[in-house]
Structure 1
Amino acid sequence: MPYDVQGVLFDLDDTLMDHTAASRAAVLEFVAGLPEWPLDEAGTLARWYALEDQHFARYMAGEVTMLEQRRARIGGFLELEDAADDLLDTWFSRFLSGYQANWQPVPGGPELALRLLEEGYRVGILTNGQAAQQRAKLAAIGLTDPRLVVCVSEELPAPKPSPLAFAAACGALGLAPHQVLMVGDSRVNDIDGARSAGLHAVHVTAELLTDPDDSVGRIATIADLHRLIGVSI
């Protein structure tokens, strides 16, 4: 087997829970209720994701609070940055309701995590974000087993890709970094961060032929991971 490990850490968003599909559906539902929305679907999604990336990065860097980044995102999206906070909060809550209603697992992801537990692996989730929301996502996709170790950046010394995040997660698993495999969709946060902290790492990406670094394990879907660690699902 390529990876002889005792523990596996999973990213959450777009690794076990389909964040992109949920946010896409929620954004399109949100603008469908607005009069005379000027953008087509592609333009709508491009604007939303650009603002999400920009302002969530500011939240991760500690520059703004979760509430402030939400207000900045929705204000920028609607081009109403100077709107009153209570109005921005109302608009974002409409998006958030749709987002939560569309939470779905990445096919095969939760089943694999639970199978690994049954096979004797120590399994954890290492995710950037707000603790309450990330735990609610886990519950929505059926990952409530008390044996799962859940590490959310809000409760850690630093977010991914900081080595401090990976050290804390390995400590929670009770394993040394070289005994742990990190699985995620972000090359920077999940893969480069894990490897710099001494973990093994597998990148979940459909672009299997575009990465020149052959030392990085890559799989097209999370369900393919079982082949790399010898677990049947």
Structure 2
Amino acid sequence: MPIDINCDMGESMDAFTLEKNEEILDYVTSINIACGYHAGNHTIMHKTVRNAIRKNVLIGAHPGYPDLQGFGRRDMDFSADEIYNMIVYQVGALQAFVSVEKGILHHVKPHGALYNQSANNIEKATAIVNAVYDINPTYVLYCLAGSEMVKIAKKKGLPVYEEVFSDRNYNEDGTLVSRDDANALIQTEEEMFVHVKSILTSNEVMSVQQKRIKISAQTLCIHGDGPHALAYAKKIYELRKQIG
């Protein structure tokens, strides 16, 4: 089965960005909608849900830390109970908008610092897995390929899509290079193309330490807030069709 292409959306109030993101829907197979904590609001959530249903794109919730100022990318210290509750709260909000539009919520993907901190932290990962399972055990959890969260979710019986990133660099242990690092993002379309082609054809990425690492995944992420998001989406869409 061809790899799923997902995109983070509903993260901007800017009219131009919203229009650009709507065009991206033609080149992805699933989206992750911000739930108001790190970005977005009730109006943007509803509009994005409607657009996704109209374009027949799978819908996921994208819950993050309560950090509008830092776009959810600042590390925060919350207990497992607090993380459980913030996941239930945010997913429940998006679930309601999907329900009123007669759609189906497909998955949950944590955002930003919450995603990174919980990937290999057993306590935080377990809190997220339990929250998603308790909301609906058929929802797919999108999480970092090869992470502890993958193991915890599978042991719980929760469906999982292991995720790789089209525009992020990797360390040799399979973790993402920190966004605090100048080398966190892949900067050019040419580099992105080589990176994604390696994932799709060989299940490999080249780490920043110049070591090839195996990486198996069912979904590939495009960051919707990136300056090259639409161009990357089009390129990846065509590459995915060619490879099949």
Q: Scaled by the length of structure 2, what TM-score is found?
A: 0.33
Larger relative contact order (Cα-Cα within 8 Å, sequence gap ≥ 6): 1
Larger Rg: 1
More strand per residue: 1 or 2?
2
Q: Scaled by the length of structure 1, what TM-score is found?
A: 0.34
More helix per residue: 1 or 2?
1
